[in-house]
């Protein structure tokens, strides 16, 4: 069953694109690890971690339903939204 891109919500498309970029970046970094010095290793690791943090931040923002109670505290909602690979 084919799904039209317009039928997928924008945020899901963003998450899919970020995870795809992260996988492609990791694959390319692992293809030639011997040609990297310490600076390049740090750059690659930081880029990968940044993509991971972006995905986690979006997923957390979608999963948290802020609800003020009588005391001004926020409560986490019970809904969950995670794009699986």
- What is the structure's pLDDT at 65? 52
Give the relative orientation of helices 38-63 and 10-31 as an angle to the nearest 10 degrees: 160
Compute the average pLDDT of residues 8-30: 88
Give the separation between CA 5 and CA 18, rounded to whole angstroms.
16
- What is the structure's pLDDT at 35? 72
Tell me the per-residue pLDDT of 20-75, one tens digit each, with 9 for 90 and over.
Answer: 999 998 888 877 766 778 888 888 888 889 999 999 998 888 776 544 455 555 55
Domain ranges in the chain?
9-85
CA distance readout (Å), 28 to 2, 5, 32, 35, 38: 29, 27, 7, 12, 17
- What is the structure's pLDDT at 70? 55
Kindly report the CA angle at 20 between 61 and 44, in degrees rounded to 5? Answer: 90
pLDDT of 78 strictly over 90? no
Q: Two tokens at 75?
A: 């409560």
């Amino acid at each position: 069953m084919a799904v039209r891109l317009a039928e997928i919500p924008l945020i899901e498309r963003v998450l899919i694109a970020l995870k795809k970029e992260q996988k492609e970046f990791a694959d390319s970094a692992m293809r030639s690890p011997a040609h990297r010095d310490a600076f390049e290793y740090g750059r690659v690791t930081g880029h990968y971690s940044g993509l991971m943090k972006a995905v986690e931040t979006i997923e957390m923002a979608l999963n948290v339903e802020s609800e003020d109670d009588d005391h001004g505290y926020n409560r986490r909602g019970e809904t969950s939204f995670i794009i699986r690979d």
